[in-house]
Amino acid sequence: RKEVEQDPGPFNVPEGATVAFNCTYSNSASQSFFWYRQDCRKEPKLLMSVYSSGNEDGRFTAQLNRASQYISLLIRDSKLSDSATYLCVVFNAGNMLTFGGGTRLMVKP
Partner 1 sequence: GAVVSQHPSRVICKSGTSVKIECRSLDFQATTMFWYRQFPKQSLMLMATSNEGSKATYEQGVEKDKFLINHASLTLSTLTVTSAHPEDSSFYICSARGPNDHRADTQYFGPGTRLTVL
Closer by beta carbon to partner 1, 25 or else 34? 34
On whether the CB atoms of residues 69 and 28 are closer than 8 A, the answer is: yes
Q: How far is the CB of 99 from partner 1 (least distance, A)?
A: 4
* 42 binds partner 1 per the rule CB under 8 A: yes
Q: Out of 32, 52, 65, 70, point to the residue binding partner 1 (CB under 8 A).
A: 32
Asked if residues 33 and 81 have their Cβ atoms less than 8 Å apart, the reply is: no
Does 84 contact partner 1 by CB under 8 A? no
How far apart, in whole angstroms, are the C-alpha atoms of residue 51 and residue 72? 10
Whichever of 8 and 54 has its CB closer to partner 1, that residue is 8
Give the 3-state secondary structure of residue 95.
coil
